[in-house]
Chain A
Amino acid sequence: MLESLAISLVDAVPVLSGVPLWTITLLVMVVVAAAVLTFALTYSGLATYVERKVAGDIQARIGPNRVGPVGILQFLADGIKLLLKEDIIPAKADRFLFILAPYLVFIGSFAAFVVVPFGMGLIASDLNIGIYYVMAITSLVVVGVMLAGWASNNKWALLGGMRAAAQIVSYEIPVGMALIPAVLIAGSLSLQDIVRSQGGLFGIFGWNLFHNPFTFFSFFLYYVAALAETNRTPFDIPEAESELVSGYHVEYSGIRFAFFFLAEYGDMFVVSSLATACFLGGWHVPFLNAEALPAVWGNLFSLGVFLGKTLSLVVLMMWIRWTLPRLRVDQLMRMSWKYLVPLTFFNLLGVSLWLLLFQGRGVPQMIASLFG
């Protein structure tokens, strides 16, 4: 896709035809990457602000309101503070791994933004193995978290790191299994194809969420498992402030801590965007076909729709966090292996059988065919 963009750029600006194509492609890549990263960081910063405001609202208090109008610049102030803080590395820590860990977590979380289908043409790289890529690259987070726990040379951090490793690895299975129904229906691993498969005349009933009873259920299974994969309450046992102080990042300060922090919000966005793309129709809305609009407006419109859906799911995560208590580590594991994994397997089987029996038609299509 980026190459075609580069070619069209050369077509539009004839001066560039003297430059080798790969240079231009590389340039486009850098620009796109910078744009995505900028978006991801801005979003993460703003999300911390929104989280605090949501928490404030739920807890009958005000939340940040000092920096900028209604406190909106609080995240910048916090960011500057974290940047200026002393960078403390414990004397007994494994220096190399200690420094490496936050980057792994950060990369694992933010590299997934590459395949997020922000709009009908807005995707950094429409990989044909999109979902697979997300699952693979976010697994890097586990390595980082475990390294952080180990390298800190702190028993709380070690416990947190081990908990995180066990948890993320366990929950990756139900997450993956719950996403496969969307892949089956679209017949493609590319996120953009999955979104396109949910368009059409049925409005919200074209979404995979309403395709058949199993996909409906699948969405909720996915959301619960994804909550656990991002280490959010009620599954935040790796951090578990009241038990493990703050788990694997207890020894981190300043900007290294900020990396973990940003990665958490990045993760929230990634899992929510996957839910949107796979179950909630991505950038589709009823009664208005973005692809029929002029390119610029269509893209902007679909971007707005996609962000709206995804950010609603992110806010829902925050809402859950400030409402529910935390599970215990054994209960968490039991939930994954005894309930979520079998249920997602059963679900996957159900969707496969459904697709086989009804030649890939969903419930809304069948109802529509009843009325001609």
Chain B
Amino acid sequence: MKANAGALPTQEMLINMGPQHPSTHGVLRVILRTDGEVVVNAKPDVGYLHRALEKIGERVTYAQFMPFTDRLDYLASMNCNAAWAWTVEKLAGIEVPERAEYIRVIVCELNRISSHLIAFGSFTADMGAFTPFLYAIRERERINDLFEEICGNRLTYNYVRIGGVSADLPDRFLEKTKEFLDYFEPKVPEYNKLISYNKIFVHRLANVAVATPEDAVGYGLTGPNLRGSGVPFDLRRNEPYSVYPKIDFDVCVGTGERGTVGDCFDRYMVRINEMKESVKILRQAIAQIPDGPVMAKVSRVFKPPVGEVYFRAENPRGETGIYLVSDGTVNPYRLKIRAPSFVTMNIFEKITRGLMIADIVAVIGSFDIILPEIDR
């Protein structure tokens, strides 16, 4: 036998990452073809959580679909609730009282903070640092407490209604929210000190899985993932809805501060900075919120006019677009949801080529995908 290391036969290994795996953020299955530790190809396989939500939407009334939107992106139920309400209101031309709009913005931004906290925490846990996750959970718990006061639920809120919100804010809610903001704001620099600028952490993320601005736009990335690639596109600013035009905030973009624009670190930092922006939005909304009713007059048997509508909202994970066709009956004729996480999976195969297995985990974490939204 000749001793020639170069001629040793090597084989590509086929590994199933998931559907049960601690770092796929749910039941995502990634089919990895690897050469040792280096990934030759990583193909995401989705659909393990399909519940046919869009079909269900055609069988229930407009109001009855609201609880189903909770199960779209369960870490940002308020945003999904509101997106559904805004869509139907746009279709039916319902005027929503201003107080209700402000309440929606307040709960949406609170939920954005809690969603980004989970993104931040689980991402650091994927990178091997478990402690920040617990800190994120600690802060999120206070947001959950606030939501519990509003609607009695801590995860699936079902709070927003077509035409307003289900109930006015409880006593002292705005003060408590302010207290939370005062408590939360100094925490963000603390996270940065603990983990964001940790040398190992930066080394793991900088220059890893770069999504160039062209790719990001081309593959339809939205939300923090798109902004992470340096594209300053935010629906709250570029296509304003609700009361966002009255509120002043910055659109956070990736700057490549530790590596290339559009790497995992940029996507991570955009979320961290967006939490600060949400705090800013919340403070303004609390200062501006008017008195008044929280529900518009919507008839019990709600039949929107015949027509179709597409509405998109800036949710924590990107652009949630809802396409709705009405035939004038109590049920929608057709419902299609554009889920940001699902669209994000398109670019996955492209930018993971040639990375290491550990980087796959970083990519999944930096995209902050959520499986019930991918599979709907």
Report the minimal beta-carbon distance from A154 to chain B, rounded to whole angstroms: 10
Closest A residue to B355 using CB positions: A328
B151 at the interface (CB under 8 A from A): no
Task: List the one stretch of A107-115, A305-313, A317-325 in contact with chain B.
Answer: A317-325
Which residues of chain B are within 8 angstroms of A60 by Cβ–Cβ distance?
134-135, 138
Contact, CB under 8 Å: B127 / A325: yes
Which residues of chain B are within 8 angstroms of A55 by Cβ–Cβ distance?
130-131
Given contacts A59-B134, A60-B135, A237-B358, whether A326 and B128 have CB atoms under 8 Å apart is yes
Closest B residue to A166 using CB positions: B37
Report the minimal beta-carbon distance from B120 to chain A, rounded to whole angstroms: 13
A240 at the interface (CB under 8 A from B): yes
A282 at the interface (CB under 8 A from B): no
B204 at the interface (CB under 8 A from A): yes
Given contacts A242-B22, A243-B361, whether A327 and B131 have CB atoms under 8 Å apart is no
Which residues of chain A are within 8 angstroms of B201 by Cβ–Cβ distance?
325
Report the minimal beta-carbon distance from A244 to chain B, rounded to whole angstroms: 8
Contact, CB under 8 Å: A329 / B356: yes
Contact, CB under 8 Å: B200 / A326: yes
Measured between alpha carbons, how far is A55 from B135 in the docked complex, in Å?
12
Interface residues of A in 19-68 (CB under 8 A from B): 55, 58-61
Report the minimal beta-carbon distance from B199 to chain A, rounded to whole angstroms: 9
Contact, CB under 8 Å: A325 / B128: yes
Measured between alpha carbons, how far is A327 from B129 in the docked complex, in Å?
10
Closest A residue to B124 using CB positions: A325
Report the minimal beta-carbon distance from B107 to chain A, rounded to whole angstroms: 26
Which residues of chain A are within 8 angstroms of B135 by Cβ–Cβ distance?
59-60
Measured between alpha carbons, how far is A233 from B198 in the docked complex, in Å?
14
Task: Digitize B176-196: 1 where CB-to-A-CB distance is under 8 Å, 0 elsewhere.
Answer: 000000000000000000110
Report the minimal beta-carbon distance from A300 to chain B, rounded to whole angstroms: 37
Which residues of chain A are within 8 angstroms of B131 by Cβ–Cβ distance?
55, 58-59, 322-323
Contact, CB under 8 Å: A325 / B195: yes
Report the minimal beta-carbon distance from B4 to chain A, rounded to whole angstroms: 21
From the candidates A240, A243, A325, name the one contacting B198 in the complex (CB within 8 A): A325
Which residues of chain B are within 8 angstroms of A359 by Cβ–Cβ distance?
none
From the candidates B13, B124, B128, B359, name the one contacting A236 in the complex (CB within 8 A): B128
Measured between alpha carbons, how far is A328 from B130 in the docked complex, in Å?
16
Measured between alpha carbons, how far is A242 from B128 in the docked complex, in Å?
7
B337 at the interface (CB under 8 A from A): no
Measured between alpha carbons, how far is A236 from B200 in the docked complex, in Å?
13
Contact, CB under 8 Å: B203 / A243: no
Task: Digitize B341-367: 1 where CB-to-A-CB distance is under 8 Å, 0 elsewhere.
Answer: 000000000000000111111000000
A155 at the interface (CB under 8 A from B): yes
Which residues of chain A are within 8 angstroms of B126 by Cβ–Cβ distance?
242
A86 at the interface (CB under 8 A from B): no
Closest A residue to B135 using CB positions: A60
Contact, CB under 8 Å: A240 / B358: yes
Which residues of chain B are within 8 angstroms of A243 by Cβ–Cβ distance?
23, 357-358, 360-361
A234 at the interface (CB under 8 A from B): yes
Which residues of chain B are within 8 angstroms of A59 by Cβ–Cβ distance?
130-131, 134-135
From the candidates B22, B198, B356, B360, name the one contacting A330 in the complex (CB within 8 A): B356
Report the minimal beta-carbon distance from A313 to chain B, rounded to whole angstroms: 20
Given contacts A159-B37, A234-B200, A242-B22, whether A328 and B134 have CB atoms under 8 Å apart is no
B289 at the interface (CB under 8 A from A): no
Which residues of chain B are within 8 angstroms of A240 by Cβ–Cβ distance?
128, 358
A241 at the interface (CB under 8 A from B): yes
Closest A residue to B138 using CB positions: A60
B247 at the interface (CB under 8 A from A): no
Report the minimal beta-carbon distance from A322 to chain B, rounded to whole angstroms: 5
Which residues of chain A are within 8 angstroms of B13 by Cβ–Cβ distance?
155
Measured between alpha carbons, how far is A61 from B125 in the docked complex, in Å?
16
Report the minimal beta-carbon distance from A243 to chain B, rounded to whole angstroms: 5
Report the minimal beta-carbon distance from B28 to chain A, rounded to whole angstroms: 14
Measured between alpha carbons, how far is A188 from B171 in the docked complex, in Å?
76
Contact, CB under 8 Å: B200 / A324: yes
A331 at the interface (CB under 8 A from B): yes
A1 at the interface (CB under 8 A from B): no
Report the minimal beta-carbon distance from B97 to chain A, rounded to whole angstroms: 40
Measured between alpha carbons, how far is A329 from B23 in the docked complex, in Å?
17
Contact, CB under 8 Å: B138 / A329: no
A70 at the interface (CB under 8 A from B): no
B15 at the interface (CB under 8 A from A): yes
Report the minimal beta-carbon distance from B184 to chain A, rounded to whole angstroms: 15
Contact, CB under 8 Å: B127 / A242: yes
Report the minimal beta-carbon distance from B102 to chain A, rounded to whole angstroms: 33
Contact, CB under 8 Å: B129 / A245: no
Closest A residue to B125 using CB positions: A242
Counting from the closest, the 4 A-B pairs by CB-CB distance are A326-B128, A59-B134, A325-B129, A325-B127
**B residues apposed to A, CB below 8 Å:** 13, 15, 21-23, 37, 124-131, 134-135, 138, 194-195, 198, 200-201, 203-204, 356-361
Other CB < 8 Å A-B pairs besides A61-B134, A159-B37, A163-B37, 13 of them? A59-B134, A60-B138, A155-B13, A155-B15, A233-B128, A233-B129, A324-B198, A325-B124, A325-B128, A326-B129, A326-B200, A328-B356, A330-B356
Q: List 17 A-B contacts (CB under 8 A).
A: A55-B131, A59-B131, A233-B129, A234-B200, A241-B22, A242-B23, A243-B23, A323-B129, A323-B194, A324-B200, A325-B128, A326-B127, A328-B356, A328-B359, A329-B356, A329-B358, A331-B203
